[in-house]
Structure 1
Amino acid sequence: MNASNGPDSADGTAGAAFPDGSTAHDGGTVSTDGTASAGGTVFTGGTVIVDPDRDGDAVTSDAIAFRDGRVRALGAEALALLDADPTAYARIDLAGGTLAPALGDGHAHPLLGGVEALGPRIREAADLPGILSAVAAWKAEHPDAEWIVGASYDATFAEGGLFDARWLDEVTGDTPTILRAWDYHTAWANSAALAAGGITADTPDPALGRIVRRADGSPLGTLQEAAANDFLADVVPAFALAQRLDAIERATRAYAAQGTTWIQDAWVEPGDLEVYLAAAEQGRLHTRVNLAFRADPARWRAQRAAFAAARERVRGLAHPRLTAETVKFFVDGVVESHTAALLEPYADRPDDRGLPNWSPDELAEAAAAFDADGFQLHLHAIGDAANRHALDALGAARAADPERERHHVIAHVALLDPADVARFAELGVIANFEPYWAQCDAVMRDLTIPHLGHPRDEWQYLIGSIHRSGATVSFGSDWPVTTLDWRPALATAITRHDPADPEAAAWLPGERIDAGAAYAAYTAGIARQALAPDRGTLEVGRVADAVWLSADPLRIAPEAIAGLEVRGTWLAGKATFRG
């Protein structure tokens, strides 16, 4: 179980003290030197959301007391504690705002998101010339750089998401350059980078990837799946440890500043472990993080011992903000590059069913092995075939030992045959959605829907259907693929349209869920995914993870949720952020 269920140790930063024991730092506040405070905190003057979705209704209170990392009392009992001994409890006036259970992110890549800041600012580009301008500016600022490495560009800026190396050559010259697309399954390389990797017209596609080619067979510059990821791992120089430590601290600070207290890092490679161990030891994690080690289809048998050893190293550290209980499977790719695994061919490629990373039999065998090793499984599944095979594999593992409690996860669940909806509840599988994707944006309109055709275009992000089936739903961001900010994503789950456009039509409106259920996917759903049954609500005895918001997210208009102000975050009763 998650080692962070008890009172949390703190971050070791210094500064001017606040009444709740937190300290000023970088414009916000973080917890103090690591010992649990003997005192407590009582919050009054606003609404306390105790449970956002108990039997379909929210449970609220007007006061709450934290002590020793947990919820001590609610309502009149909390006020009585304050009145009985004002020196034992500091009071925080919510000023008409709302204290709610803190949120988690059930699928993200905080290290990848953190290092994006080290490269060209291509995510901000509004078009292809904007990407090239950002790369040119970065090169001018770093004339001695041996490589240019950046992320993450918008694939809709080129037809079919296919980008030409020669476009980059114009602004990079002979400096090897590689940029990741926003999906992190695709990369765009210039000619110098292709040469550095030895990629020519004669280079075969890797087993689980594609080198997109021109009509004459020469590499275009767009690499998909293993062709991209292997290139980045084997050819491109890694960022220095110090840079990666800064990146993970920057990422977890950003999460703390938005009310998040737990993150699932859903793609951990062997070299990432040292970064996380060092970050924990140096007090540079401002949220809890659980690591998911990526299972390689070609090497998973050899990885079993290594993953178990890595898990024991993390457990041995016994740091309350770092766990490593999970193994990640990439079952397939993404629809936009025709690499998601489909049951029937793509609408615009009648001979192509995608690029599965695992055969069904091998997936089932590997899932059973890591399940037997006691790992939680976390399976990326986009296409309907990938989701079916993931469910089949988890079902087979469960059948081998049906009495053991499990909390396995299928992430994204982007395209699901309606016949498979009920299986999540039947198998006890957590459906982790990235709700910000549940809108008809440019990617959906220009790439996804044309690739899928009808009726499959209406089988996407069936959040409402799975929620109504009784399955556990958790929410995540997949940051840096899309924003880490839960607020517009929460609004999207409720409305099924762009939260910035209140007049937009709802996309697949039958799959909407109400505000309480949506918020619970970030709290109670995350608590189950995090193997933390004593988190997720603010009931008495639960871990005191909370966020102070300027208004009640369950009662305001969904389009206003994105504008909510975060005024503070508490992790096990300790402030990790104060606005």
Structure 2
Amino acid sequence: MERDPKTGEPTGILNEFSAENLVINVLPQPDFTVKQYKKTLLTWQKTAAEDGVTSVFVPVHYPTESLLKAFEELDNAGKLTVRYDLGLWADENKGTKQIGRLKELRDKYQGKSYKIDTIKIFADGVGENKLVWDQNILEKTVAALDKEGFRVYIHAIGNQGFYPSHNALDAFEYAAKLNGKRDSRHVITHLDWVKEDDVARFKDLGVIPTPQPSWFGKDWYTNVRGEGLKELNHMGSYLKPEYRLLHRVIFLQQILLKEICIPLQD
């Protein structure tokens, strides 16, 4: 939540989901309806079938259960034609206190063609060199989620000289030391900027790197020169043989190199 630098008063500009959801939660209709979500999912599944897509990961950022109920109803009716892995959003202001609620939702929403076993965390935002989580809280939360058997999926874009993926890797390393290693298949996604020395840590920790080639054609990096290029888009490293088991999870738009936008159906 941005404030006026002189008065300290809120400006009305909200950054990231924790601030946005403060407003969303008090709206008369804080989310799309279950009916709208169901129609949209059914429409999108036609596109998925045309492109041969059979399994997807869906981050759920809203604090309501409308989308989850839509999946539940469609699954009960036998109308889900794609396997869905749903990822619930973790609030950086709640840390480990929210894990009980996340477990409740995981237990409540498990179907034949959809499941909740993933939690999405934002290490940074978009376009701002600022960490979203306090590092100590991040590490404890990731470790607690790992202990409960959740797969943790961390958003980390970064910028030249700013590497939230490093903080995410530190959190996964902390979890492994505390809980021991397992086939957790934790993920760090986007990964525009990664310290060169951190690339090998993905393999060592068993963390899946999920970059987005569909972003590479944008003009975000036109001013990067010289040594800076060593820490930008390590796609070649992730595709080396020793990483062959670590790059299975990629976004649909990366496979197709196009963005599919299905308008919400009334």
Q: Name the TM-score, length of structure 2 as normaliser.
A: 0.80
Equivalent residue for 1:355? 130
Matched ranges for 1:529-548 at <5 A: none
Equivalent residue for 2:78? 283
- Aligned residue pairs, count: 246
- Alignment pair present for 1:292 and 2:87: yes
1:465–1:283 CA distance, 2 compared to 1 (3 A): same
- Alignment pair present for 1:486 and 2:255: yes
Give the % identical residues.
24
1:252–1:458 CA distance, 2 compared to 1 (3 A): farther
Distance 1:224 1:401 in 2: 33
1:167-224 CA-to-partner distances (Å, cap 9, x unmatched) read xxxxxxxxxxxxxxxxxxxxxxxxxxxxxxxxxxxxxxx2xxx4799xxx995x8653
| Greater helix proportion | 2
- Alignment pair present for 1:428 and 2:206: yes
2:16 to 215, 225, 229: 225
Moved more, 249-258 or 234-243: 234-243
Distance 1:362 1:329 in 2: 12
Equivalent residue for 2:188? 410
Matched ranges for 1:135-534 at <5 A: 206=1, 210=2, 219=11, 223-226=14-17, 227-228=19-20, 230-232=22-24, 234-235=26-27, 237=29, 238-269=31-62, 270-271=64-65, 272-315=67-110, 317=111, 319=112, 321-334=113-126, 337=127, 339=128, 354-383=129-158, 384-439=162-217, 441-442=218-219, 444=220, 449=222, 455-456=227-228, 459-468=231-240, 470-471=242-243, 472-477=246-251, 484=253, 486-488=255-257
User: 3-state SS of the aligned residue for 2:239?
Assistant: helix
1:521-548 CA-to-partner distances (Å, cap 9, x unmatched) read xxxxxxxxxxxxxxxxxxxxxxxxxxxx
Matched ranges for 1:36-185 at <5 A: none
Distance 1:247 1:313 in 2: 22
Distance 1:359 1:225 in 2: 15
Q: Which amino acid aligns with 2:55?
A: W
1:32-70 CA-to-partner distances (Å, cap 9, x unmatched) read xxxxxxxxxxxxxxxxxxxxxxxxxxxxxxxxxxxxxxx
1:261–1:308 CA distance, 2 compared to 1 (3 A): same
1:240–1:487 CA distance, 2 compared to 1 (3 A): closer
1:228–1:295 CA distance, 2 compared to 1 (3 A): closer
Q: Which amino acid aligns with 1:370?
A: L
Unaligned runs of 5+ in 1: 1-205, 340-353, 490-579
1:252–1:460 CA distance, 2 compared to 1 (3 A): farther
Report the RMSD for the aligned CA atoms in angstroms: 2.8
Distance 2:10 2:188 in 1: 37
Distance 2:3 2:119 in 1: 28
| Greater strand proportion | 1
The alpha-carbon deviation at position 429 of structure 1 amounts to: 0.6
Unaligned runs of 5+ in 2: 259-266
User: For the Cα contact (< 8 Å) 2:139–2:172, is it kept in 1?
Assistant: yes
Q: Name the TM-score, length of structure 1 as normaliser.
A: 0.39
1:268–1:322 CA distance, 2 compared to 1 (3 A): farther
Distance 2:250 2:81 in 1: 18
Q: Which amino acid aligns with 1:328?
A: K
The alpha-carbon deviation at position 436 of structure 1 amounts to: 0.9
User: For the Cα contact (< 8 Å) 2:213–2:257, is it kept in 1?
Assistant: no
User: For the Cα contact (< 8 Å) 1:245–1:279, is it kept in 2?
Assistant: yes
Q: Which amino acid aligns with 1:488?
A: L
User: 3-state SS of the aligned residue for 1:374?
Assistant: coil
User: For the Cα contact (< 8 Å) 2:59–2:87, is it kept in 1?
Assistant: yes
Equivalent residue for 2:263? none
Distance 1:211 1:239 in 2: 29
